[in-house]
Amino acid sequence: MNITLDKSSTTEASLKIALTPEDYQPQVDKKIKEYSKQANIKGFRPGKVPTSVIQRLYGKSILVDEVNETLSKAVNDYLRESKLLVVGDPMPDREKANEINWDTQKEFEFVYNLGLASDFDVDFTKLPEVNAFEIQAGDKEYEDTLADLKKRTGEHAHVEEVAAGDLVYGTFKQGEYTEKSAIPTDKVTEEALGWFLGKKKDEVLTFDIQKLFADANGLKLATSREDLSGEFEFTIEDITRNQEAELNQEFFDKVLGPGKVSSEEEFKTELTNVIQENYKREAEFLLRDDVQKMLLENIQIELPNEFLKQWLLETNQGEITEEEVEKDFDKFASDLRWTLIRNKVAEAADIKVEAEDVNTYAEAMVRQQFGIYGDDNGMGDVIKKVAQNYLQENKGQNYMNVFNRVYGGKTMDFILTQVKTNAQPIDVESFKAKSGLAE
């Protein structure tokens, strides 16, 4: 076997593989003997079919299969040992492959077109610093969070007449159509709110249903049909109001845990710390995003764009168009450059992902899905079982997805220890504007 690499440019090359009978014939002969022992052909006893008969009936297909298997192993071994930055997959020269005469040829030459990324270094000492925002949560954030917690932990009370913000239960009626529903008055139009204010149980309202909700989705959520229109009657059957929780020990225990604090002053301090910690996580998300952008902007990697576009079309044949490839290519190329940078850093830092890392991550995903934080409350075995079932589903793809998340997370953790950062105190509103979280 002879393998030669011909680089036509920094990002494109061709790999030529020449095969002689010595490279594939032993495997072909072995496979023919196996077929002769297993074949069930009329006129011959099972296991006693002559190899000449197998050669005549199946010789060409066996030859093609074994040559292709030899080729695949040769290409993979060469690329692994050469350390080339191959992007996409090797694409065979189909014109040359179609010229092969499998009936008469003994020696074969195959050509694969390769796409390469240009070589690059990740030298953290030469990269610019990145702002690391330190969010300062103050009284406004405390008051906003407190107001939200009071609403969410409060109780629902049945009231006599409708006020803004109440939830009104009742029945829609138009001709033969009737349906029970709940109307949140904070979602209706300003005009519709006037219809409900001050109304009491058993009163009947008449209105154009298309003018009820401010958002088009409101009607979809309130009824089972999307095609309702015209004048409807609505009979009020119940009115509930969310009463804010009082700022007392029961509230403190419900929000922070039993016995955590015993006064309003202690509660404010502890809740502010929780808010600060939550914003700290938001700031870290932004830092990771900014670090990735900085690396992409400062590490130049040339890609074989035309090769990659063709590769995307061939590997997604019939599922994607040239227009779609062009539209999404910049995002694809950016993601590919980031993968190359991340992998180079991970290889240099010898970052490993063990099976236990994957299991731990999957179990954390299950806890979050179940809404379990802190103590498992005796559900540890259930969580482990659900996590394992998830990892084994989808033919191993779920496992690889989690593996890649853990691998990416570990790599970014290492990167954050290497890049230069500049601590920048920032208030919450300015941070929201900068990170795109502002409403």
Task: State the amino acid at position 391 in one-letter form.
Answer: L
User: Average per-residue pLDDT in the chain?
Assistant: 91
Pick from 360, 375, 355, 294: nearest CA to 127: 294
Say how many C-beta atoms besides its own lie within 10 A of residue 357's C-beta.
16
Arithmetic mean of pLDDT, 61-82: 93
Which pLDDT does position 406 carry in this prediction? Answer: 96
- Which tens digit of pLDDT belongs to each residue from 336-361? 999 999 999 999 999 999 999 999 99
Q: Which of 140, 147, 63 is nearest to 108 (CA)?
A: 63
Structure tokens that stand for 162 in this block: 């409708």
124-137+252-435: which CATH topology? Answer: Trigger factor, domain 2 (1.10.3120)
CA 344 to chain centre: 22
CATH tag, 155-243: 3.10.50.30
What is the rounded distance in angstroms from the CA atom of residue 207 to the CA atom of residue 89? 63
Label residue 373 by pLDDT band (50, 70, 90). low
The full DSSP string for 159-214 is -SB--TT-EEEEEEEETTEEEEEEEETTSB-HHHHHHHTT-BTT-EEEEEGGGSBS
* Helix H or strand E segment including 231: strand 231-243
Domain edges within the chain: 2-116, 124-137+252-435, 155-243
The length of the chain, given as a count of residues: 439
Tell me which H or E stretch contains 242.
strand 231-243
Rounded distance between C-alpha atoms, residue 59 and residue 50, angstroms: 13
Taking each helix axis as running N to C, give the angle between helix 428-435 and helix 264-298, from 0 to 180 degrees, rounded to the nearest 10: 30
Rounded CA separation 389/398 (Å): 10
Domains 124-137+252-435 and 155-243 share a fold: no
What does pTM read for this prediction? 0.70
Residue 376 pLDDT class (50, 70, 90 cuts): low
Cα-flanking dihedrals φ and ψ of residue 214, to 5°? -70, -30
Specify the fold of 2-116: Alpha-Beta Plaits (3.30.70)
187-229 per-position pLDDT tens digit: 999 999 999 999 999 999 999 999 999 887 888 888 888 788 9
Contact between 263 and 391 (Cβ < 8 Å): no
Query: In the prediction, which pLDDT does 439 show?
Result: 47
Sign of CA dihedral 271, 274, 280, 283: negative
